[in-house]
Structure 1
């Protein structure tokens, strides 16, 4: 329990610090109340559809809305099978300064069906999901260069009405991106999380690392392939994933996407989704 409190104090401090710094920005800098002109905005970058987050922030004074229209999550442990349907799992991103953005994530509707493997009994719940607060602080390469890096701490609040076992969780994400020759992009991410155990209310620490490669397939359509793994330090359990997605630029500030995150081990999640991103 003491370790949990220490972790969340660190996460909270990193969440709050950029907001404090924001108030100290020089007047001539673009900010939430002095938006970047549309003619000077960076190319639209999204944190979806792959697991690897983008190290780039939303331009100051602008917002971006990213969502799963529909996401199906399948899980299986030694004791139960769980199927979860999520509708409008969204993330609102607001640019505070040149290199800082706040994010508010929420699950509009979730329907979860749990099946006990031994008895065969089932339980179905539905309702509003969890709320997640995140701050993205770009450290390198937000405006220029072939390498970018950011810090992305988060806290997930247990507001879910469909998952009554939900608990306060949090972590720190470090996304990176290399721009390679030929308009190829190579993304990396390392992440440390404090999460609830699958079948009980106790907590564990989990490490995640990703590798993603993206490239334009044809005009306005990008293809993304990705692999990542998670390691549960408590259960000493490794989960490997192979992911694939496409992202279609419908308009300058509007993109559609679809993809799959496929866990290789029997206990690893399988995710199937269709979503979109919009910037204003």
Structure 2
């Protein structure tokens, strides 16, 4: 079996991707087995974010003695671990503080749909950090030196995770204030995007892809027996798949419907949706709509004074 995978993926790629795939699906099935009988979604965060720190994602399974790692491997591993731990702590504390996640209220009561969710989460665990897996699968001597593209990718990652963390902190502070019970947040980063946390998440993984993929493509051209070019190109799917997932499946699509159901009759909610982009922040959008609103209000006042 490994010989077949090695022929398809390349020897190093097969050595690391096969066990990661097995562990991703194995642990998610275990998570489903625990959660389904109890009809609870509380283990979801623990089984998802924390699994990204599984050892093969951090360093090669059998590093050459003495262990040597390329700076790209160390940086990619560190960034992924920081992201994973932050997300696990944030999501875990939120679920246990609120007692659950409204997005799973119906799904968790239907074992078939709940299983599909867990299997989909395994795919997320496997695909999103694909570039990191590839970087850590290859011997350090094959890696090209760190260059400007790598530095830009890391800078993009830091921007993305900072944006996401600030947005999460702002919403947590808003939700904890009893005066805001039953309200929706419109201040801070949530003034320029209805889902700034998701925007930050997409940006940070775009940065990680920029950090990992060019190096993998270069290695695949020189050593196709170690990692096939198709595998290197496949790491580009990370931010694309994440953007689709957050927009159409588990994130924005659900939250927007929940918001419409809860606040759809409120004038403030309608104005918020009209004046704030759904995902990509654009301060100009806010100012433009504010000016339109002011002009409209001024026009109304003028008519009354006639």
Whether TM-score is above 0.5 comes out as no
| More strand per residue | 1
Query: Which protein has the larger Cα radius of gyration, Structure 1 or Structure 2?
Result: 2
Q: Which has the higher contact order (CA 8 A, sep 6+)?
A: 2
Instruction: Normalising by structure 1, report the TM-score.
Output: 0.27
Between Structure 1 and Structure 2, the one with more helix by share is 2
TM-score, normalised with respect to structure 2: 0.25
